[in-house]
């Protein structure tokens, strides 16, 4: 289910529009729609109570949308013969939907959170017994962990700080956002791209000077993705002979490329020395 502006009502109904809800695969009945509309404030109440115990980065609107999903599910499945009020039943379903959303957003696993609780509990117990803050060594001994495992637990349970990448990097009005100043490792640096393009152009130039047969073999193998046995059939040669020509051609190109790079480096050095003088 995904968010949409209004609830789809049965044909012929004239119920008022609800400001926020979910798109349904099947429309609600009139009775279910009335239950949802009447208990919408319940969603905000449950969300507000949950937010008290949550970090500031949690989006209340996301939780509200999940809560409405739970409210609609409650309206569909409510059975008044069970002797429970709809508000009580809906509160449970709303809270469950919100908790499901929080688990989906949680970057820590249950095992990691269990380790964090054990570390905190051991520290609290030691502080009560010792009358002072417990050291890491004392906590490690309390839990019976090796130094390596204790260090791993500490690393795994470090608090995660979530920041908005599109917010300004500091408090100044015209400060750039983190999105603008953090380097993108997937983007190739300009100098590296120019060097690569220069090498590609140089290799293409060297290939163009090869005899016809080696040049065609390279084109068939690297551009047309033909196998050596298929290339051998085209030239009427054995596969081993084609393999030999291919290897010899690559060695020749490698030597010529190294020589050309050395000449280019020497030329660049002479230019720099001339400018320095």
205-236 tens-digit pLDDT:
999 999 999 999 999 999 999 999 999 999 99
The pLDDT value recorded for residue 3 is 37
pLDDT at 97 over 60: yes
The pLDDT value recorded for residue 246 is 93
Quickly list DSSP for 85-100: -HHHHHHHHHHHHHHH
Percent of the chain's residues with pLDDT above 70: 79
Lowest mean pLDDT among 11-20, 194-203, 241-250: 11-20
- The model's pLDDT over 101-139, given as tens digits with 9 standing for 90+, comes to 887 776 667 788 788 889 889 988 888 888 888 888 999
The pLDDT value recorded for residue 84 is 83
The pLDDT value recorded for residue 54 is 78
Contact yes or no for 24/69 (Cβ under 8 A)? no
Where does the pLDDT of residue 50 fall: very low under 50, low under 70, confident under 90, or very high at 90 and above? Answer: confident
Of residues 198 and 14, more confidence is placed in 198
CA 113/CA 109 separation, integer angstroms: 6
The pLDDT value recorded for residue 5 is 35
What's the average model confidence in pLDDT over 253-262? 88
CA 35/CA 75 separation, integer angstroms: 6
What's the average model confidence in pLDDT over 44-71? 84
CA 19/CA 37 separation, integer angstroms: 10
Mean per-residue pLDDT over the chain, rounded: 80
The pLDDT value recorded for residue 236 is 92
Q: Could you list the beta-strand ranges (E) of the chain.
A: 3-4, 21-22
Helical H segments across 78-189, by residue range? 86-105, 110-130, 136-143, 147-156, 178-181
pLDDT at 11 over 80: no
The tokens describing 159, both together, are 């608090």
- The model's pLDDT over 152-179, given as tens digits with 9 standing for 90+, comes to 888 887 766 666 677 676 666 677 777 7
Where does the pLDDT of residue 248 fall: very low under 50, low under 70, confident under 90, or very high at 90 and above? Answer: very high
pLDDT at 145 over 70: yes
Q: In the chain, how long is the greatest CA-to-CA distance?
A: 98
Where does the pLDDT of residue 268 fall: very low under 50, low under 70, confident under 90, or very high at 90 and above? Answer: low
């Amino acid at each position: 289910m995904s968010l949409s502006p209004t609830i789809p009502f049965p044909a012929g109904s004239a119920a008022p529009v609800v400001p926020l809800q979910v798109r349904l695969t099947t429309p609600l009945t009139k009775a279910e729609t009335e239950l949802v509309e009447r208990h919408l404030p319940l969603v905000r109440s449950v969300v507000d109570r949950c937010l008290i115990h949550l970090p500031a980065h949690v989006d209340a609107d996301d939780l509200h949308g999940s809560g409405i999903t739970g409210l609609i599910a409650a309206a569909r499945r409510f059975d008044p013969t069970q002797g429970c009020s709809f508000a009580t039943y809906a509160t449970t379903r709303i809270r469950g939907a919100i908790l499901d959303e929080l688990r989906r957003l949680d970057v820590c696993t249950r095992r990691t959170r269990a380790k964090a609780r054990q570390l905190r509990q051991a520290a609290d117990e030691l502080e009560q017994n010792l009358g002072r803050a417990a050291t890491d060594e004392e906590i490690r001994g309390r839990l019976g962990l090796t130094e390596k495992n204790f260090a791993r637990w500490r690393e795994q349970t470090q608090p995660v700080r979530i920041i908005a990448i599109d917010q300004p990097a500091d408090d100044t009005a015209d400060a750039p956002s983190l999105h603008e100043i953090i380097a993108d490792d997937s983007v190739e640096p300009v100098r590296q791209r120019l060097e690569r393009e220069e090498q590609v152009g140089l290799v293409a130039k060297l290939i163009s000077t090869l005899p016809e047969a080696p040049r065609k073999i390279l084109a068939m193998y690297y551009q047309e993705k033909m196998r050596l046995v298929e290339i051998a059939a085209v030239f009427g040669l054995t596969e081993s002979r084609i393999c030999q020509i291919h290897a010899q051609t690559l060695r020749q190109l490698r030597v010529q490329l190294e020589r050309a790079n050395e000449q280019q480096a020497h030329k660049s050095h002479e230019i720099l020395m001339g400018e320095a003088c």
